[in-house]
Structure 1
Amino acid sequence: MSDGDDDVTISRRTLLRASAGTAAFSTVGVGSAGASGSNAAGTPWFDDRCPDATLEPNMGHCVENGMEGCADDHPTTTELRSGVQAVLEEHYPDVGALVDAGYQPYFDTLEREDASYSHWINPEYVGDDAVLDPERPESVLVDDESWRSIGVMFIATRNGEEIDPPAVYGGEASDAQPADDAPIGATADPETPCSPWHYHSGLPGRFAWWYYKQAYEHDFADGDIDLPCRTPCMLHVWAIDHPESVYAHNAPPAESREQEPAAEAGFETDAEPGTDELGWDVLPDDLQPEQRPEDLTALVPGL
């Protein structure tokens, strides 16, 4: 994929060359893989570098008991969600608007979970210094049937580097002032912190983040092709009603997502919102990276 004037293309050949002519990944970096603890060739899946990694989809909480202090009716949650709803309605209501704003397709085809919604990610917002800013959500969650935005996923990065995620609200009584990166409406108080950030340590999620870094940030150009042990911390805020929580990890049920399809696709395609499912196959070539995720899975044993 090209980025501006830089003639940089991700391909199997490029990645293989960067890894000195061998496959970009070995089976190390996977902490557990079922009862045998090894693949069919007898190679151990355990590695000290990534002790918590798994072959199957897996997630963990960035802050232990981080959801315990969260309440959907807390003033800060209400303000944060209202801010997200307003921004999605005004600026990012559907896929066409996301494309115009610089968001890139980041379909979770390898997560093997709910495939009825997708993530669209904005490299500019991943690379800026904003955290938990409704005006600049790193990723927007889209219903693949209606092609409409249904929430956001904040990613705990600053200037492209992973950071320890800030609490949405709450903290120690000794905190005299909110942190500089605290979200709107946050106050320093002795409440149990609400910090519902999660990460993915399963191989599909790790690959998905690696794919983003290669396809859209061109890490391979600097020789950085290592599969991460886990993703950065991420936080969902659903703009539509969710029976579990505003911050729930899983998508709202289908009945909560019933809405009028987007009026138009917003890009050149024969597919129609509400009739055709949003996915790689309906996107024009100029919206697709040089390589789709499935083109590179052969480089990662276990996928």
Structure 2
Amino acid sequence: MNRDDERAPSRRDVLRAAGGTVGLAGLATGSAAADEDHTPTPHGDCPDGTVGPSMVHYDDSIETVCSDDHPKTQELHESVAAALHERYPTVGSLIDDGFVPYFDFLTTDQATGWSHWLSPEYVGDDTIVDPERPASVLLDHQSWRPIGMMFVATRDGEPVDPPPTVYEDDDGACAPWHAHVGFPGRLSWWKFRVFAAEQTGAGIVPEFPCKTPWMMHVWAHPHPESRYAHDAPPPENRDVEPADPGFETEADPDEDEFGPELLPGGFTAGFDHLP
């Protein structure tokens, strides 16, 4: 028996064996599982809620305080870049560690070309800003390569407010966090939390939120605005050698842009039912 025969089955192996029953399939049952008190509505009792997409910032420190040259920013950036290189170099490495694509994966077009992947485990643990256990990894579709992380201010899956600061100095506190208050963003987060509860066996339907938890991007590539900017660096700043897929596929990253149709079958179940 060789070493490959002796290893424990990976998540990717489980997905293959499940034949399409793992991944985001559970999200299709989210709305049906909600009771009357948790039924999503565009406004409800949320004073800042909007029908369309909308976002708020924790404060204005991303423009007035946070600096790419600050030692704490550089330290965080280097830790993120190192973790992406060592732990998450491919799409397959995300799949093997339990990450699932978020809803922008289905709507991303060539104009943006990137999406969020979230970890139910790391969103649900007691860490917040930990590049070794990131709540989300940001994936570039052109190169099939992770290009940043998104940290989510939750402990045990519950929002933390206020979120932690990256650093504090004479100029103030750097807290470049944002939250989504528009109905599409809140619905997407709620659906993810329903899925995470099903995956962990919690059996509790989360309350529909007035806003998502606070979220913070950290980009591994240079950004003309900020390492913490909400949007990805422009395509020319993330023009890197395509990564190996990290899972079995006939697609060629040198020629094919990454998309939902190229994922292992277990991740495509339920896509037609997502918001």
Aligning the two structures, in what range does the TM-score lie when normalised by the shorter sequence?
Answer: 0.7 to 0.9
Deviation, 1:296, is 4.1
Q: 1:209 aligned to 2:189? A: yes
1:50 aligned residue (41, 46, 60): 46
Matching residue of 2:224: 243
Gap change, CA 1:154 and 1:223, over 3 Å in 2: closer
Q: 1:275 aligned to 2:255? A: yes
Matching residue of 2:4: none
Deviation, 1:115, is 4.2
d(CA) in 2 for partners of 1:152, 1:268: 25
Higher helix share: 2
Deviation, 1:13, is 5.9
Matching residue of 1:291: 270
* 1:199 and 1:231 in contact (8 A); partners too: yes
d(CA) in 1 for partners of 2:166, 2:150: 14
Gap change, CA 1:106 and 1:296, over 3 Å in 2: closer
* 1:94 and 1:148 in contact (8 A); partners too: yes
Deviation, 1:229, is 1.5
Q: 1:167 aligned to 2:146? A: no
Matching residue of 1:137: 134
> Which amino acid letter does the alignment assign opposite residue 252 of structure 2?
E
Gap change, CA 1:279 and 1:122, over 3 Å in 2: same
Residue correspondence of structure 1 range 13-28 to structure 2 within 5 A: 15-16=31-32, 18-19=34-35, 24-25=39-40, 28=41
Gap change, CA 1:96 and 1:13, over 3 Å in 2: closer
Deviation, 1:203, is 1.8
Figure out how many residues of one structure are paired with residues of the other and give that number: 251
* 2:27 and 2:191 in contact (8 A); partners too: no
Deviation, 1:127, is 1.2
Q: Relative contact order: is structure 1 or structure 2 higher (C-alpha 8 Å, sep ≥ 6)?
A: 2
> Which amino acid letter does the alignment assign opposite residue 78 of structure 1?
Q
Gap change, CA 1:79 and 1:13, over 3 Å in 2: closer
Deviation, 1:124, is 1.4
2:120 aligned residue (116, 123, 126): 123
Matching residue of 1:197: 177
Q: CA RMSD in A?
A: 3.0
* 2:27 and 2:192 in contact (8 A); partners too: no
Gap change, CA 1:128 and 1:221, over 3 Å in 2: closer
Larger Rg: 1
d(CA) in 1 for partners of 2:33, 2:129: 38
d(CA) in 2 for partners of 1:226, 1:125: 20
Residue correspondence of structure 1 range 79-98 to structure 2 within 5 A: 79-98=75-94
Residue 193 of structure 2 aligns to a residue whose secondary structure is: helix
Gap change, CA 1:9 and 1:275, over 3 Å in 2: closer
Gap change, CA 1:18 and 1:102, over 3 Å in 2: closer
- Structure 1: runs of 5 or more not aligned: 31-46, 171-188, 298-303
- Structure 2: runs of 5 or more not aligned: 1-13, 16-21
* 1:119 and 1:139 in contact (8 A); partners too: yes
1:65 aligned residue (60, 75, 97): 60
Gap change, CA 1:17 and 1:106, over 3 Å in 2: closer
Residue 10 of structure 1 aligns to a residue whose secondary structure is: helix
d(CA) in 1 for partners of 2:259, 2:175: 32
Deviation, 1:105, is 1.6
* 2:193 and 2:206 in contact (8 A); partners too: no
Matching residue of 1:260: 241
1:232 aligned residue (205, 213, 217): 213
d(CA) in 2 for partners of 1:153, 1:13: 26
* Percent pairwise identity: 47
* 1:119 and 1:141 in contact (8 A); partners too: yes
Between 1:106-115 and 1:161-170, the stretch displaced more is 106-115
Matching residue of 2:26: 10
Gap change, CA 1:287 and 1:237, over 3 Å in 2: same
Deviation, 1:156, is 0.4
* 1:71 and 1:77 in contact (8 A); partners too: yes
